[in-house]
Amino acid sequence: MKSILACVTAFLLMAVVDDRYIGARAAADTLPATLTGSALLDDWGNRFTSLGASVPENPLRTQVRTTIAQLAMFDAVNAVLEGPYRPFASKPASAPGASPEAAAIRAAYIVALSEFPTKAATIDSAYAASIAAVPASPEAIADGIVVGEAAANGVLAARAGDHRNDPDLEGYTPASGPGAWIPTPPAFANPQTPFLQFVTPFGYHDPTRFRPHAPPALDSRTYAIDYHESRDLGRATETSRTAEQSATALFWSPSASALWSANVRSLASSMDLLTAARFEAIGIATVTNALIACWDAKYTYMFWRPVTAIRAGDSDGNAETDPDPAWTPFIVTPSHPEYPAAHTTVGASVLAFYTAWFGTDQFALTFKGNGGAVRTYTSVNDIHAEEANARVWGGMHWRNSTEVGTKVGSRVGKFTAKHLLKPLDD
């Protein structure tokens, strides 16, 4: 009974703070009786995904916005709990006894309003429901709100001019000829979010910092070897790919950012609020930083996909690459340049963060893939190998691209883990 009264009291407080919340109490029925720990972080972190889809906007743009929200929630919780960590942007003063849950919710709310202004009514309703589920006194909630708002404004100010709102196609110049990326079948769609190559990373400033060397020359032996592997194992039909290889390609086929962000959240589920806020903020930032580094390379080199190259194998100047004009990949090719592979870049980045966090690259990791299928791994290298194989067996990538992606991602993850939200005594 006391819990129910606390929820009602908290809601009435918010109605006084802002009359936009009157009538939104019914939305709390979709939330647990209390909202604490990583469940609170995930409720708002995942809400950004839904908001982005409803706008709609490209999920990679939403990924940047979500990272901002995660960092704002961390700064808010770190301030209220007097955490021993450096903030991303600020550590606002907090009244004794302030609610860290209310601070985190308010921080995410302020960021959401800033990033999705046309969805204010939806965001207001969600906010009222979340605040009503905070297990704290009205005074503690009110004090937490003050901290959360200040933390969010600090992060938003720090991200001013970061290029996250640039036009989707900024930075794209169509190309043609052997080796050049062009829109791929079946949709022949415009390239996906080339603007991302210019977005300021989290924890460092230069999006070109981890740019790799150029892809192999078309007349090289490396290219010829990769060509034959992807052509034979990645084709949709009449392939030498085994049933298990096909299952692996499908398992890793969803968006890399979605797969790895979900995995970060799953590992945080048993952590206390401050630890989970820091773990998720760094983890989601490693996903985003890896994407930025990958997109910098993709749109710098504009390398062609197997579906384009194999159909035009007689145009590349390599005597070892016979063309197959009817070749089709097992999995539909994403609409952006090939080099390097985004899945291995993102995966390696997060795994480098995990290795730094847990102090080892040998640990059990349960991973949920396509369709909710679950696989368990025991080492970082096992995941590196399988994720790389999946992109070759799916026919979307060359082997070299997956290997370079792993190297780039590992560097991004190590750097982000070392420099973002460090302990105060580090």
pTM over 0.85: yes
DSSP 18: -
Polymer length of the chain: 426
Q: Give CA–CA dist 82/387, Å, rounded.
A: 39
What is the b/e burial string over 252-283, where b = at least 16 CB atoms within 10 angstroms of the residue's CB? Answer: bbeebbebbbbbbbebbeebebbebbbbbbbb
Q: Give CA–CA dist 165/267, Å, rounded.
A: 30
SS3 at position 333? coil
DSSP 66: H
Q: What is the pLDDT of residue 14?
A: 36
Regions of the chain short of the pLDDT cut 50 = 1-30
DSSP-assigned states of every residue in 89-156:
S------TT--HHHHHHHHHHHHHHHH-GGGHHHHHHHHHHHHHT--S-HHHHHHHHHHHHHHHHHHH
Q: Give CA–CA dist 364/346, Å, rounded.
A: 19
The upper half-sphere exposure of residue 10, i.e. CA atoms within 13 Å in the direction of its Cβ, equals: 31
Largest Cα separation within the chain, whole Å, is 79
Number of C-beta neighbours around residue 143 at 10 A: 21
Q: What is the pLDDT of residue 426?
A: 84
Is residue 140 a contact partner of residue 97, using CB atoms and an 8 Å limit? yes
pLDDT (tens digit, 9 = 90+) per residue, 308-344? 999 999 999 999 999 999 999 999 999 999 999 999 9
pLDDT (tens digit, 9 = 90+) per residue, 67-121? 999 999 999 999 999 999 999 999 999 999 999 999 999 999 999 999 999 999 9
DSSP-assigned states of every residue in 296-323:
HHHHHH-BPPHHHHHHTGGGSS-TT---
Q: Give CA–CA dist 144/110, Å, rounded.
A: 13
Q: What is the pLDDT of residue 33?
A: 62
Q: What is the pLDDT of residue 32?
A: 53
SS3 at position 235? strand
Q: Give CA–CA dist 300/172, Å, rounded.
A: 10
